[in-house]
Amino acid sequence: MKVTERDLRLLNWIGEQFIVNIRELEGVIQFDAQKHHLPIVGKHFTRDSIHRWKNAGLVQTSYQLRRGSHVFLTAQGIRATGLPFSPRTPAISDVAHLTHHDGVNQVRLHLERQMWQAHYTMRWVSERALMQHQKQEAKTHPHAPKSHRPDGVMLIGEHVIAVEVEKTYKRPSKLKSILQEYLYSIQYTQTRYYCDTSAIQQSVQRAITSLLDDLPSQQQAQLHDKVVALTIEHVA
């Protein structure tokens, strides 16, 4: 099988995110066609592409009840893309977090489409890449404190924006600790929380507001939009 430039772009997207719901992959394929001025894809294009990739040994699929089929790269797929990751097969722990994986993928695709339509150049750094960077840093600086890792990072010009996808409530003490780290972070210019429901969004916003209320007014003004809470409805 000849691997096309389009194949490589799509396989890279899958590999960066580790595992992708096939329904979400359809949106990725449609956006790729739009961005690269390719013909509109037919309704069987996604299925046929996955079939070709599987026959070439580049991907495998996994079906989980209620979450639908998912696709991930094999070791051969990782080599074909040149991604700097070790191959992984979804474990039981990954299956338990498929809802979160799907949410992060949905948010990434929305942000990429939104930035492209607004004529901004955006680069996404996946959690998989962030995790690998953290491991390398831990080897170089084994005694350095470990920082919280977001679900992804948007790079837009000089702006480095951390992205968190909240599908469930966090323990208040844990949420407070993470928010404090983001508020005073010099690594990220902003952090955006995309919450599954308005109730979760309000919970995160209350925690942000509580932290800001404890600060002097001048510092509140400086940090008022350092961390923002939105709902995933904004990306639907």
pLDDT digits (tens, 9 = 90+) for 78-114: 999 999 999 988 877 777 688 899 999 999 999 999 9
Answer yes or no: is pLDDT of 190 > 90.
Answer: yes
Residues 204 and 128 in one domain: yes
Average confidence score pLDDT of the chain? 92
Answer yes or no: is pLDDT of 65 > 70.
Answer: no
Mean pLDDT of 180-197: 96
What one-character-per-residue DSSP string does 18-59 give? S-EEHHHHHHHHHHHHHHTTPPPPPTTHHHHHHHHHHHTTSE
Residue that finishes a domain, picked among 61, 92, 123: 92
Residues 219 and 122 in one domain: yes
Domain that residue 63 falls in = 1-92
Residue that has been written with the tokens 């294009």 in this structure = 45
Residues 204 and 112 in one domain: yes
CB 185 within 8 A of CB 160: no
Residue that finishes a domain, picked among 49, 66, 92: 92
pLDDT in tens, 127-162: 999 999 888 877 787 777 788 999 999 999 999 999
> What's the pLDDT at 66?
62
Domain count, the chain: 2
> What's the pLDDT at 188?
97
Residues 62 and 176 in one domain: no
Q: Check residue 64 and report its DSSP letter.
A: E
Mean pLDDT of 215-232: 94
Distances, alpha carbon 32 to alpha carbons 38, 40, 157, in Å: 8, 10, 22
Alpha-carbon distance 176 to 173, whole Å? 5
Predicted TM-score of the model (pTM): 0.92
